[in-house]
Homo-oligomer: A and B are copies of this chain.
Amino acid sequence: VGDAPRSARSDRVKAVRRLSGRSVRLREGRFVAEGPQAVREAIGTGLVEAAYATPEALDRHQDIAAALVAAGLPAHPVTADVLAAMSDTVTPQGMVAVCRLVDVPLEQVLRARPRLIAVLAQVRDPGNAGTVIRAADAAGADAVILTEGSVDVHNPKCVRATAGSLFHLPIVVGLSLTRVIDALRAERMTVLAADGAGPADLDDLQDGDRLAGPVAWVFGNEAWGLPQADRDLADDVVRVPVHGRAESLNLATAAALCLYATARVQRRQVRSIQ
């Protein structure tokens, strides 16, 4: 408690606030997880370096206070003003944690013999990326890969959209799509690109056995999708059927449908073998 920052203008508060910038995060190797849900999930990962919370938030979330103490992590009581000065959000819900970056090497993911992976190719919107990470977690995916040129997963808006899932499954960043697909294919994963104009239909795929083996889905940029050169890298290009008059689905919706369809086929497969 003695070294908790007391002023919103203290150097430590400013240093935390600067982590809302991508280049600072990369240089320092740290980012800020905001809100009780994110802090709670972060503690279990061993990535937390320090937590800052208002007395009110600590009282409301005593389980988090206990977990911080049990993990031997420095937890600093601060005023709401100090916390607001640290945070990108207007309302960080009384609590933030400074964490080391979450990303892991692709090799580590592949060693675990993944069966379902989501690849985001040049996805730029932090809310979209975060929502896909949350859906991938829910669908039981083994990892999410963001290619170089994608949004930083440690962006505060992305962290928020993951609703804690950022800390639940391995995240790989910074590689080219070519390199990612080469590595996935070397592990005998089927690589499927999602595209509204794809010749294969997700509904038909669910009736076959193509989704039963290890599958990696590639999702493109929210505005321009996947360029032809990128689609050519995949084993097949798959569309989510549009039954109504919508021109397309948004990125996160399409990704959730593809990932859940695959999880359903893979799990049916497992049930029928047992």
Contact = CB atoms under 8 A, between A and B. Distances in A.
When all copies of this chain in the complex are counted, the total is 2
A135 B254 CA distance: 9
Nearest to A207: B268
Interface in A1-54: 37
A91 interface: no
A253 B253 contact: yes
A263 B240 CA distance: 12
A168 interface: yes
28 contacts: A131-B250, A134-B249, A134-B250, A134-B253, A135-B246, A135-B249, A135-B253, A136-B244, A137-B244, A137-B245, A137-B246, A138-B240, A138-B243, A138-B244, A138-B248, A138-B253, A139-B244, A141-B244, A163-B247, A164-B247, A165-B244, A169-B244, A203-B264, A206-B264, A240-B260, A243-B263, A243-B267, A249-B256
Given A135-B253, A138-B248, A163-B248, 20 more contacts: A37-B247, A134-B250, A134-B253, A135-B249, A136-B244, A137-B244, A137-B245, A140-B244, A141-B244, A163-B247, A164-B246, A164-B247, A165-B244, A165-B246, A168-B244, A168-B246, A169-B245, A203-B264, A253-B253, A253-B256
